């Protein structure tokens, strides 16, 4: 793997900010989309900014309060963008943005999408309860690989970086080779990315063999963690009884759906009159077992949502971060997503792969024909 290396004096965040400054000056970029700490300091927010605001940005915030793909989509969803934007976000968010662009919910043409090696994120609700404490924990956790305070969904994530085995289709990926002199490397994945790096003057590409080796080892670790998590979680969802238990405390608030970057429907089928039946039907249904959970159709919502979006699930964890009943939504959906994505050999976030449910092969999946 090759990338342009910068040897910064002041660490990762400073290196990235200098890079972004150069990008704006030399690569015809008009605005940046970055996370910032909000005015009262109790959370983080996305801002579209001009170069002079760069210094206040928070390059790797401790939490993903709003998924970057949602933020980007809100800007480029409606109307043609006349400005070129460079957007920096975690790999899962960048992948979600690419998925949304395939679903016509985000125009990436004027966007230079930049991802970075991700240390994981902290649970959002813990952060909201005590921002200072969790920020300190994150400072420590970000420096230590696989710290146990990072969210469970992050600790089973194997797409936190961009190597040849788990590439990320962002235009540019910022890598932390963690060499002796704390170098930061910029890898280009697309022509657009290459152009930008050349204009900025980090065109020279150096081998990142050590970094690649280290990342591959970590990816293997995470793949193993993922396998283990799959075995554990499967117990919670195998069979209707387990499924009912696991989702038993679900109150159908549907926040998981509304914060999911991939669930873009303005009105969800599972929140519409299509799933509201006549009172007679409910009484009949109740009579069959003598009682029924009302609000009904919790499992219909959960499994239905899974069938709709799991092929595009990037495991960002927004759902689990916001669930008021502490259900392991992200972990469960992510494991299910592995299986549905495998059916089509589909990797969400790969630019030139069309969404599986939009295309078909005349000769395929014969094993599913009964």
Partner 1 sequence: MMPQVITIKKSAEEGIKEFCKVLLQSKKVAGVLALTRKNRSAYYSLVTDPAKMDETTPLAPVMPANAATLLSRLTWEEGPPQPIAAVVRPCEERAFIERIKLQQGTFKNLYIISMTCGGVFPLKLLAQGEIENNLPQYYASLNKAETVENIRDVCKGCVHFIPCNADFTIDMLGRNNDSECAMVVNTDRGEELIKGIEYSIEKRDTPLLRGHEDKKMKGLIEHREKVGEQFYGEYHFGEPGMAGLSSALYKCVGCHSCSRACPICYCNLCNFNSEQHDTRFSKFASQLRKSGSVRVPPDTMLFHIGRLNHVSISCVGCGMCEDVCPVNIPLGTLFSEISKALQSIFDYVSGKNPDEDIPVSTFEEEELTQVQ
Name the site residues for partner 1 (rule: CB under 8 A).
31, 33, 38-40, 42-43, 45-50, 52-53, 65-66, 70-72, 74-83, 124-125, 128-129, 248-249, 251-255, 258-259, 266-267, 271-273, 276, 278-280, 282-283, 286-287, 289-295, 321-326
- Smallest gap, in angstroms, from Cβ of residue 350 to partner 1? 25
For residue 357, give Cα distances in angstroms to 70, 73, 352.
Answer: 21, 21, 15
Shortest spacing between CB 144 and partner 1, in angstroms: 27
Nearer residue to partner 1 within complex by CB, 224 or 284: 284
Rank residues 128 and 225 by Cβ distance to partner 1 and give the closer one. 128
Q: Kindly state the smallest distance separating residue 233's Cβ from partner 1, in Å.
A: 18
Give the relative orientation of helices 298-309 and 329-343 as an angle to the nearest 10 degrees.
50
Taking the least distance from each CB to partner 1, the nearer of 80 and 366 is 80
Structure-block tokens of residue 39: 């005015």
How far apart CA 370 and CA 367 sit, in angstroms, is: 8
Considering the complex, what minimum distance in angstroms separates the CB of residue 289 from partner 1?
8
Q: Return the number of the residue (73 or 312) whose C-beta is nearest partner 1.
A: 73
**Residue 71 to residue 94: CA distance in whole angstroms:** 11
Q: Is 70 in a helix, a strand, or coil?
A: helix
CB of 52 to partner 1, least distance (A): 6
CB of 205 to partner 1, least distance (A): 33
Compare residues 82 and 359 and give the one whose CB is closer to partner 1.
Answer: 82
Residues 283, 284, 289, 295: what is their CA dihedral angle, to the nearest 10 degrees? -50
Q: Output the six-digit token pair for 108.
A: 């990436």
Tell me, what DSSP letter sits at residue 355?
A: P
Tokens 């933020």, located at residue: 71
Least distance from partner 1 to the Cβ atom of residue 283, Å: 6
Cβ-based nearer residue to partner 1, 282 or 346: 282
**CB-based contacts of 168-171 (< 8 A; 24+ apart in sequence):** 168/91, 168/94, 168/95, 168/115, 168/349, 169/94, 169/95, 169/98, 169/349, 169/350, 169/351, 170/91, 170/94, 170/98, 170/113, 170/114, 170/115, 171/112, 171/113, 171/114, 171/196
Of residues 53 and 194, the one with the C-beta less far from partner 1? 53
> β-strand 31-37 against 85-88: which pairing, if any?
parallel
d(CA 29, CA 20): 9
Q: Which residues contact 266 (CB under 8 A, 6 or more apart)?
A: none
Closest to partner 1 by CB, 30 or 206 = 30
The least CB distance from residue 60 to partner 1, in Å, is 18
């Amino acid at each position: 793997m090759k990338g342009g290396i910068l040897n910064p004096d002041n660490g990762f965040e400073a290196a990235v900010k200098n890079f972004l400054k150069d990008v704006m000056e030399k690569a015809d970029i008009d605005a940046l989309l970055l996370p910032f700490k909000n005015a009262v300091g109790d959370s983080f927010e996305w801002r579209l900014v001009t170069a002079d605001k760069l210094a206040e940005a928070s390059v790797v915030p401790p939490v993903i309060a709003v998924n970057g793909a949602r933020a980007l989509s809100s800007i480029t969803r409606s109307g043609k963008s006349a400005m070129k934007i460079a957007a920096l976000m975690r790999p899962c968010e960048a992948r979600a943005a690419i998925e949304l662009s395939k679903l016509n919910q985000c125009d990436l043409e004027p966007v230079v999408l930049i991802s970075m090696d991700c240390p994981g994120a902290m649970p959002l609700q813990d952060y909201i309860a005590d921002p200072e404490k969790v920020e300190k924990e994150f400072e420590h956790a970000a420096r230590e690989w696989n710290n146990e305070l990072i969210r469970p969904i992050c600790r089973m994530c194997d797409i936190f970086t961009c190597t040849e085995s788990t590439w990320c289709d962002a235009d540019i990926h910022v890598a932390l080779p963690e060499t002796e002199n704390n170098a930061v490397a910029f890898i280009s994945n697309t022509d657009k990315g290459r152009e930008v790096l050349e204009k900025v003057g980090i065109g020279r590409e150096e081998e990142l063999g050590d970094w690649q080796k280290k990342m591959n080892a970590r990816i293997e670790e995470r793949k193993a963690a993922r396998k283990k998590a799959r075995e554990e979680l499967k117990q919670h969802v195998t069979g209707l009884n387990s499924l009912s238990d696991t989702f038993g405390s679900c109150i159908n608030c549907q926040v998981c759906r509304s914060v999911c970057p991939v669930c873009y429907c303005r009105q969800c089928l599972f929140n519409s009159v299509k799933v509201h039946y006549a009172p007679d039907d409910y009484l009949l249904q109740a009579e069959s077992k003598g009682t029924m959970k009302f609000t009904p159709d919790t499992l219909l919502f959960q499994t239905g949502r899974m069938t709709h979006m799991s092929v595009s699930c990037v495991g960002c964890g927004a759902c689990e971060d916001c669930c008021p009943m502490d259900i392991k939504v992200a972990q469960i959906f992510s494991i299910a997503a592995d299986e549905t994505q495998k059916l089509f050999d589909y990797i969400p976030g790969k630019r030139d792969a069309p969404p599986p449910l939009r295309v078909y092969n005349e000769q395929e999946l014969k094993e599913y024909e009964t």
